[in-house]
């Protein structure tokens, strides 16, 4: 367990590949509009003055260069949409990242120019002639898209696929609601929102879906001439290993780049931001200056826990968080409200600051909530609030499922994590309570500066 990734902001042998694909348990649904004619080098790292890690700048080389489609006359209007106004730095978010590789920055710039060109075009059927890759979850077609983490984490892997196949990548949900109800592109980031003409095409055409192995995605010759590819890939790990297969020397790994890439694509919607800012004030947390513990007490066929089990699981989770970042506040999140109550009680026993959200009900599951289609978007806010509360910690401990691991990837130090390895039998990776060294970085009454997030990008015309 090491501490390598800071807040900055980014080959398997044939034998390993064969073994890897033999154990794949998950298929991905890829839908293709053929009628539309739409068609380790671990990176070297150094500590900055604040003790956080930064990636040393290594230019990567790639043969997948994108065409130049940046008409000068569009630049002023593009700047209005993408630039960060009223901040010390005015420009594109990807220019701030030392972790985003050169190919990714090139793709973001190309995506910005090409998307705007298509929106400004008067050419008939221009969207049917453009190679596209759409991450979708549509109530008209997709009855199951997976939980929030499993359906969202593959964005980084698909971003590389879009670059390598020269496709414009978009994300479009209508189930349980539009993704923009929860997450939006940040000012200066990549605008992944599906424009209205594309949204109409996605729901007006019936698509024929079939299953393929994850390793086939877009790389097979049969997909190269297919202009629009719709996917609802799900993965607990976001296809981390497949992404890392294509790294070049000096390029940041999946784990190292996820934090920056996420913040280039996403910022919480205004309602979610407001809840987060309120929670940060109430709990007295500072972004990057606390640890988070996520505990799935109810997982799989486990539907209840005894009080003894709750105390054992919860106290261990809090201990693990204290071990990761001693002497700092601990945020507790769980799918069982009794666990958060016990965590706060346990913190008092240890004379430590352990905080949790004050929730009457648990967050709804995006793929399993009863009467999902009739629910308001606001009923799902808590899922994203919990994600960001944990994802803005410096270190994260988790156990089952992909949600806690997702938060760890988003955290200020993605390599500062611990898997509690719980099972129906109990704790598999126990931790001991760890006291601070007397130099705690956070006082009880300190607050994070507001606003906590980059403002949302302006809407399409």
Q: Is residue 221 part of a domain?
A: yes
Residues 186 and 289 in one domain: no
Residues 393 and 276 in one domain: yes
Residues 257 and 275 in one domain: no
Residue 31 exposed, middle or buried by CB count within 10 Å (0-12, 13-18, 19+): buried
pLDDT in tens, 389-419: 999 999 999 998 889 999 999 999 999 999 9
Q: For 180, which DSSP code? A: G
Alpha carbon of 153 to those of 318, 433, 457: distances in Å?
A: 26, 32, 21
| Strands 228-231 vs 267-268: parallel, antiparallel or unpaired | unpaired
Answer whether 166's CB lies under 8 Å from 131's CB: yes
Q: Is residue 7 part of a domain?
A: no
Question: What range does the domain containing 22 cover?
Answer: 14-265
For residues 326 and 328, what is the distance between their CA atoms, to the nearest angstrom? 6
Query: Which DSSP helix (H) or strand (E) runs through 282?
Result: helix 270-283
Q: Is residue 460 part of a domain?
A: no
Residuewise pLDDT in 10s, the chain (461 residues): 444 444 333 333 334 333 333 333 333 334 433 322 222 333 333 323 333 333 333 334 344 667 655 444 444 555 555 544 444 446 899 999 999 999 999 999 999 999 999 999 999 889 888 999 999 988 877 777 888 888 999 999 999 999 998 999 999 998 889 999 999 999 999 999 999 989 988 877 644 433 344 545 555 655 666 788 888 888 889 999 999 999 999 999 999 999 999 999 999 999 999 999 999 999 999 999 999 999 998 887 777 889 999 999 999 999 999 999 999 999 999 989 999 999 999 999 999 999 999 876 777 766 666 767 778 999 999 999 999 999 999 999 999 888 999 999 999 999 999 999 998 778 888 999 999 875 454 444 566 666 789 999 988 65
Please give the backbone phi and psi of residue 80, each rounded to the nearest 5 degrees, phi first: -60, -35
For residues 351 and 342, what is the distance between their CA atoms, to the nearest angstrom? 14
Residues 306 and 235 in one domain: no
Residues 281 and 208 in one domain: no
Residues 114 and 69 in one domain: yes
**CA 220: distance to chain centroid?**
27
Q: For 352, which DSSP code? A: -
Beta strand ranges found along 40-146 (DSSP E): 45-47, 53-55, 132-137
Instruction: Please tell me the pTM assigned to this model.
Output: 0.79
Residues 26 and 119 in one domain: yes
CATH classification of the domain holding 384:
3.40.50
Residues 281 and 138 in one domain: no
Total Cβ atoms within 10 A of residue 47: 11
For residues 375 and 340, what is the distance between their CA atoms, to the nearest angstrom? 26
Residues 124 and 196 in one domain: yes
Q: How many domains does the chain have?
A: 2
For residues 439 and 297, what is the distance between their CA atoms, to the nearest angstrom? 33
Q: Is residue 303 part of a domain?
A: yes
| Strands 53-55 vs 45-47: parallel, antiparallel or unpaired | antiparallel
Residues 233 and 298 in one domain: no
Residues 161 and 71 in one domain: yes
pLDDT in tens, 290-304: 999 999 988 877 778
Helix (H, G, I), strand (E, B) or coil at 178: coil
């Amino acid at each position: 367990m090491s501490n390598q990734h800071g807040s900055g902001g980014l080959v398997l042998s044939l034998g390993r590949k064969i073994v890897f694909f033999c154990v794949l348990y998950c298929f991905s649904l890829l839908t293709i509009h053929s009628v539309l004619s739409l068609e380790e080098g671990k990176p070297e790292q150094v500590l900055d003055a604040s003790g956080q890690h930064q990636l040393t700048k290594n230019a990567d080389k790639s043969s997948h260069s994108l065409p130049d489609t940046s008409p000068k006359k569009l630049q002023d209007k593009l700047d209005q949409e993408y630039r960060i106004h009223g901040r010390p730095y005015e420009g594109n978010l990807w220019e701030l990242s030392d972790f985003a590789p050169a190919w990714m920055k090139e793709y973001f710039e190309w995506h910005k120019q090409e998307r705007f060109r298509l929106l400004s075009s008067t050419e008939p059927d221009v969207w049917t002639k453009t190679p596209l890759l759409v991450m979708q979850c549509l109530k008209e077609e997709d009855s199951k898209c997976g939980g929030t983490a499993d359906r969202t984490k593959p964005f980084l892997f698909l971003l590389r696929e879009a670059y390598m196949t020269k496709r414009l990548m978009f994300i479009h949900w209508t189930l349980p609601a539009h993704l923009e109800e929860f997450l939006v592109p940040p000012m200066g980031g990549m605008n992944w929102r599906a424009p209205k003409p594309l949204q109409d095409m996605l729901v007006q055409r019936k698509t024929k879906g079939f299953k393929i192995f994850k390793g086939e995605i877009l790389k097979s010759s049969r997909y190269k001439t297919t202009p629009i590819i719709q996917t609802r890939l799900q993965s607990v790990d976001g296809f981390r290993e497949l992404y890392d297969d294509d790294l070049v020397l000096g390029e940041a790994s999946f784990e190292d780049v996820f934090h920056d890439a996420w913040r280039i694509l996403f910022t919480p919607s205004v309602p979610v931001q407001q809840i987060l800012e309120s929670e940060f004030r109430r709990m007295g947390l500072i972004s990057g200056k606390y640890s988070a513990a996520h505990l799935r007490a109810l997982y799989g066929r486990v539907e209840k826990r005894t009080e003894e089990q709750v105390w054992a699981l919860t106290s261990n989770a809090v201990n693990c968080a204290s071990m990761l970042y001693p002497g700092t506040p601990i945020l507790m999140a769980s799918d069982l409200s009794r666990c958060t109550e016990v965590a706060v009680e346990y913190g008092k026993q240890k004379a430590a600051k352990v905080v949790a959200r004050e929730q009457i009900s648990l967050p709804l599951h995006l793929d399993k909530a009863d009467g999902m289609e009739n629910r308001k978007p606001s009923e799902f806010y808590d899922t994203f609030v919990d994600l960001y509360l944990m994802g803005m910690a410096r270190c994260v401990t988790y156990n089952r499922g992909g949600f806690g691991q997702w938060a760890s990837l988003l955290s200020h130090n993605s390599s500062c994590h611990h898997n509690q390895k719980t099972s129906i039998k109990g704790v598999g990776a126990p931790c001991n309570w760890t006291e601070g060294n007397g130099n705690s970085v956070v006082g009880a009454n300190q607050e994070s500066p507001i606003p906590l997030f980059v403002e949302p990008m302006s809407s399409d015309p």
